[in-house]
Chains A and B, each alone.
Chain A
Amino acid sequence: MLSRTAENLYWLARYVERAEYLARTIDATLRVTALPAAYIGKTNEWDSALLTAGVAESFYQTHEDANEHNVVDYLSFSADNPSSIRNCIEAARLNSRSVRTALTSEMWDTINSAWIELQAVWSKGTSTREELAKFLRFVQETSLRFDGSAYRTMLRNDAYWFSRLGLHLERADNTARILDVKYHMLLPEEEHVGGPLDFYQWSSILRSVSALTAYHWVYRETLKPWLVADLLILNGTLPRSLASCYDNLVRNLDQIGVAYGRQGPAQRHARGIRNRLEHSNMNDIFQHGVHEFIQEFITDNSRLGEIITKQYLI
């Protein structure tokens, strides 16, 4: 297939995944801020939302402080923020248009309808919490529909695999980022683990990756930081964990390698990361430092993006 087509599919999946992640982040943040102050302490959750979205720096170039109103607007609707939800959906739609021949009509319909709704219903943003909740649901449903239609209707060929690569790479990045920020904010504090503050912070992390129920099924325990980290980093059964993302990345890259009759640096690099995850346990990671571990992972992950680009997309 055309390199440009593969690149567009790859980024299309990334944009959709990112939009959903942002919607989840806002949703989780709203829940925490709705709690009485005694439960959440003095941290500014909106600050942390900006950090996990990776846009804190650009936000503060034009804003004095972070509050619900301006962060929600910045993450959802701002034209100045290249990865606002609106810009993600617009970019996804533009990418879809340029690779329409590689999309199934269901996928195109999902993105195009979402884009039309975005303009018709959400062009002025949201002014109440109810509207915001509706908007966030709309974004999450768009992503679910898109993912579902891709899964159900695409031929299992390179077009599918490249779009899956984009999805898992983006997802791994998002999961790693949210863990890092929360750890950063929480762990320097002395270990009063198990208090209400902690509980809500950790549950918000899990909610933002849609894994709160999964946590209880897997561990049958109250929320504990190392178990949350274990779930999100090493547990291959959780679709958003780093381990699971890398299982998928390795598999999709292998499928491409087999179809093209050739392996390359992307396959090797992805396998390297997966092997490291497979042979780690939480004890080692804590010894080494969770922050350091995740920082390395984020670097390795984006390096994989560069290698894939070089090997296939340009």
Chain B
Amino acid sequence: MAVAFDEMNIPGGDLRPAYQELARWLKETPPEALEYRRQEAELLFRRIGITFAVYGEAESTERLIPFDVIPRIMSGKEWALLERGLKQRVRALNMFLRDIYHGRDILRAEIVPDDLIFQNPVFRPEMNGQQVPHDVYVHIAGIDIVRVDAKNFIVLEDNARTPSGVSYMLENREIMMRLFPDLFARHRVAPVERYPDELLSALRSVAPQSAQGEPTVALLTPGVYNSAYYEHSFLADKLGIELVEGRDLIIKNNEVFMRTTEGLKRVDVIYRRVDDDFIDPLTFRPDSVLGVPGLMSAYAAGNITLANAVGTGIADDKAIYSYMPDIVKFYLGEEPILKNVPTWRCREPKDLAYVLDNLGDLVVKEVHGSGGYGMLIGPAATKATIEAFREKLKREPEGFIAQPTLALSTCPTCTASGLAPRHVDLRPFVLTGSKSTTIVPGGLTRVALKEGSLVVNSSQGGGTKDTWILDE
């Protein structure tokens, strides 16, 4: 594997411009002071209760996601490029979804193979021909980006269902501002705090026509045991909307109401953080107690907007991912600004043969997997693991894709033995309303805390950093 691009240090000892001020500050700041702030930050996170639950563990083991106090910095120019690329990609995602559930031009043009859609468990036939308000499917997208060199940002994954992590983007910034006011004074960091406002206006803008007056928005959570519950309550609070569970909602005459102390109140837009499968036991999983019986009928009647729409999973499927550059070209007639990771589709015999021959060098992912589970990182795996994966691949090739092990960029990070480079990725959050697509400057930087590790997922022990976009 090539030596990774470091975002701060150019080999040979020079600094990249965006980091010069930080480097100066780091030189002046004794390591004990950094360590002290790190502990303070941890205490703050713990007290505020910014935790996530790990599935399969008792509730009492809510965990903190480790927070690294060294910010990751990007220049305004770099961000401008990213921003254009992200907006382009999300526009294409929305057009793709609308097409898949309506005219299906892209299938007829044979850009994307039919069976990848129709045999995909996350495809929702219930959405065929269904009009969604303002044709927006993915209101909130979390696009995972990695950087491989000074010029290239690459999309690792499109999260078009219920992407999480934005509360960390906002809280990380709050805590950094509290702990390092002087460091902020030396930089001009573009603010991220208007995200909740932008989210609320995007959600309001997509209210159904039947909404009366100011639309009522609510956030639907699976409840306190969900791993992202903190984020749900955080967002509801910042948006000033009710945080509802399925049992708080009731459907009458195909309209959605919430039970309040003053009786029933109509809801127009639901920012739902409950997956499709669980959202309406009458339509999807009948054993689900998280959803609302009859919600899909109200949806079909056009009386409620669900954000994100039902059936968007088809767009963040890893098999579809490999077609994204073609999807962008097909709908927008433009070259994609952001590249994909080269991807081998194991369903295609030629690709499979290559993958089987090169397992030791590749990352192999389950098409429907997430959270860093069920993947093979060839260069880091034992022979036995590789052989076990080889068998899995042969048995069910269509379940996997493979990618080269990318040399993800690194950023200086606090470790037990002082500052050291660690691999990072970035998840910016792209909002789409009825009129515009917006992104606040920044995102959630995730960092692999183990030396050499490429896995940044919080469920696999990754941490987070504040992400600074310099306003120039």
Contacts and interface: CB of A to CB of B under 8 A. Distances in A.
Interface string A302-314: 0000000000111
Contact of B243 (A94, A101, A260): A101
A278 B235 CA distance: 47
A116 B244 CA distance: 26
Nearest to A97: B224
A109 B320 CA distance: 44
A77 to B, nearest CB: 15
B248 A2 contact: yes
A260 B49 contact: no
A255 interface: no
B165 interface: no
A4 B259 contact: yes
Nearest to B218: A2
A158 B236 CA distance: 18
B174 to A, nearest CB: 12
Contact of A97 (B60, B229, B248): B229
B259 A101 contact: no
A2 B258 contact: yes
Interface string A113-133: 100100100000000000000
Nearest to B234: A100
A113 B245 CA distance: 26
Nearest to B242: A2
A312 B262 CA distance: 7
A98 interface: yes
A1 B261 contact: yes
A3 B261 contact: yes
Contact residues on A (Cβ < 8 Å of other chain), bracket? 20 to 34
A116 B46 contact: yes
Contact of B261 (A6, A94, A113): A6
B233 interface: yes
A1 B260 contact: yes
Contacts, number: 57
Given A97-B49, A112-B47, A119-B60, A260 B229 contact: no
A3 B247 CA distance: 10
A306 B258 CA distance: 22
Contacts of A256: 261
Given A109-B47, A112-B49, A98 B224 contact: yes
A108 B49 CA distance: 9
A97 B49 CA distance: 9
Contacts of A1: 242, 260-261
Contacts of A314: 259
Contacts of B245: 4
Contacts of A313: 261
B281 interface: no
Contacts of A312: 261
A1 B265 CA distance: 10
A100 B247 contact: no
Interface string A86-111: 00000000100110110001001100
A2 B236 CA distance: 13
B46 A260 contact: no
B197 interface: no
Contacts of B243: 100-101
Which secondary structure dominates where chain A touches chain B?
A: helix
A1 B223 CA distance: 17
B259 A2 contact: yes
Contact residues on B (Cβ < 8 Å of other chain), bracket? 20 to 34
B260 A3 contact: yes
Contacts of A98: 223-224
A55 B259 CA distance: 34
Nearest to A261: B262
Nearest to B240: A101
B237 interface: yes
B47 A2 contact: no
Interface string B231-256: 00110110000111101100000000
B233 A100 contact: yes
Contacts of B229: 97
A94 to B, nearest CB: 7
B248 A113 contact: no
Nearest to B229: A97
Nearest to B236: A101
B13 to A, nearest CB: 45
Interface string A1-39: 111111000000000000000000000000000000000
B237 A100 contact: yes
Contacts of B260: 1-3
A79 to B, nearest CB: 12
Given A97-B224, A112-B49, A3 B236 contact: no
A260 B261 contact: yes
Contacts of A109: 47-48
B261 A158 contact: yes
A237 to B, nearest CB: 31
Contacts of B223: 98
A270 B261 CA distance: 18
Contacts of B233: 97, 100-101
Contacts of A112: 47, 49
A1 to B, nearest CB: 5
Interface in B274-288: none
Interface string B308-332: 0000000000000000000000000
A141 to B, nearest CB: 16
Interface in B36-91: 46-49, 60
Q: Give 7 closest A-B pairs by Cβ, nearest first.
A: A100-B233, A101-B237, A312-B261, A3-B259, A6-B261, A97-B224, A98-B224
14 contacts: A2-B258, A3-B261, A4-B245, A5-B242, A97-B229, A98-B224, A100-B233, A101-B236, A108-B48, A108-B49, A109-B47, A113-B47, A116-B47, A260-B262
Interface of A: 1-6, 94, 97-98, 100-101, 105, 108-109, 112-113, 116, 119, 158, 162, 256, 260, 262, 312-314
